[in-house]
Amino acid sequence: MLLAVASLLEAVAGARALARMAATAGGAPLARAAAAPPAGTLAAIVPTLDEERRVGRALAALSASGAEVGEIVVVDGGSTDGTRAVVEAAALRDPRVRFLSAPPLPAGWNGKAWNLQVGLDATSAPWVATVDADVRVGATLLGDAVARARADGLSALSVATRQELPDAVAALLHPALLTTLVYRAGLPNVATGDPSKVQANGQVMVARRDALRDAGALRAARDSRCEDVTIARVLAAAGGRVGFYEGDAVVRMHESWRECAAGWPRSLTLRDRFVSPARLALTLGELLFAQGLPLPMLLLLIALGDRVPLGRAATAIAAALTVARAGVLIGTRRAYVRPSLAYWFSPLADLPAVALLTASALRRRHVWRGRVLNVETAS
């Protein structure tokens, strides 16, 4: 009886995940615009906290952008390393670069959201790009993003970056965690005005200044554990359309698999005030049965053979979902820079990935770089 129930839940959850992928298939990634936007169209805001090792490469990439990027403002949340010196050296090479120390955090704000708000207030271009300090954007990416947003009538869009992984264990875990996004939200290269279907990545996000201001999007995300998704959801709830596209940007998010396991699930749960506890529980349950259990179930059923009642039907369901997972693995390969052999074994980490998301969703206290984060209560 237990096997029959588990197999039925696998079939239902798997069908729902595959339906989301089918509904978002066929979109086009960002492409080179026919003409760059006018000079000064966009201000790039780079939030930092102890980014000495990484921000130099991010700024070098931004400095390769054309005149459409009129400002590159690094808003620092109180770094104690050499971040400021690296930024000031970059400013000597590119007058668009400037360093800005954020005022002390107001009550109820988290650091990144506050840095972005400070950067928004300190710039004036009609479009704003938020770029994390560990991202290297292509020379035309931000201009291409503005052109695509204008053409598609979007309030904002974010970029599905390509990942550099630090070690073999991360090559197992990171793709399994990334796949949880595919199962929940579908494929990239889509736009939507439905807050429940929004996809977003705060590593590179381009938005209209007036849309951010009028919706109060940054203030709404001040205590979110996934501020990028919250910003996108607020814009969609205000009547805007938000896009999520593959584009020319590379990121090294973590320096070890331990950082990946400890840090990414906090935002990857996508839990904010738009998500009720019941909906979050349903989402995690679907991940468990659609992504986490099919491969272990298949291996177990093969080992048990004909000794299990309904074994053939259960095996067929688990096998079908395992094949579908292999298809997703092939599709997400392009999200990685030179994926190693370990990447192809990452479905073995699916169950631990779901467990990490679940544990993070239940945790009330989150710490980032030694700072305890404010976390809103989902309702």
Q: Within the chain, which residues score under 70 in pLDDT? A: 368-370, 376-379
Residue 243's closest CA among 198, 185, 181?
198
What does the pLDDT look like over 212-231, one tens digit per residue? 999 999 999 999 989 999 99
What does the pLDDT look like over 189-201, one tens digit per residue? 999 999 999 999 9
Q: Are 176 and 284 in contact (CB under 8 A)?
A: no
- Ordered alpha helix ranges (H), the chain: 2-23, 55-63, 83-93, 111-122, 141-152, 168-185, 209-215, 217-220, 227-237, 257-268, 277-287, 294-304, 311-332, 350-362
Tokens of 338: 């030179």
Task: Calculate ∠ Cα 160-192-140, nearest 5°.
Answer: 40
Other beta carbons within 10 angstroms of residue 277's beta carbon come to 12
Quick one: CA dihedral 259, 262, 230, 12, positive or negative? positive
Question: What contacts 358, CB < 8 A, 6 or more positions away?
Answer: 284, 288
Residue 206's closest CA among 155, 167, 264, 266?
155
Tokens of 169: 């264990």
Looking at residue 378, its pLDDT comes to: 44
What amino acid occupies position 68? Answer: E
Cα–Cα distance, 157 to 129 (Å, whole number)? 10
Looking at residue 370, its pLDDT comes to: 66
Q: What is the pTM of this model?
A: 0.93
Q: Are strands 135-137 and 242-251 parallel, antiparallel or unpaired?
A: antiparallel
Cα–Cα distance, 142 to 125 (Å, whole number)? 13
- Cα torsion through 179, 185, 187, 193, rounded to 10: -160
- Cα torsion through 325, 330, 333, 334, rounded to 10: -120
DSSP state of 343: G
What does the pLDDT look like over 126-172, one tens digit per residue? 999 999 999 999 999 999 999 999 999 999 999 999 999 999 999 99
Looking at residue 379, its pLDDT comes to: 39
Tokens of 232: 């996108």
Give buried/exposed letters for 6-45 (b at 16+ CB in 10 A, else e): bbebbbebbeebbebbeebeeeeebeebeebbeebbbbbb
Cα–Cα distance, 34 to 105 (Å, whole number)? 42
Cα–Cα distance, 211 to 308 (Å, whole number)? 57
Q: Are strands 190-192 and 367-368 parallel, antiparallel or unpaired?
A: unpaired
Cα–Cα distance, 204 to 157 (Å, whole number)? 9
Residue 124's closest CA among 203, 45, 218?
45
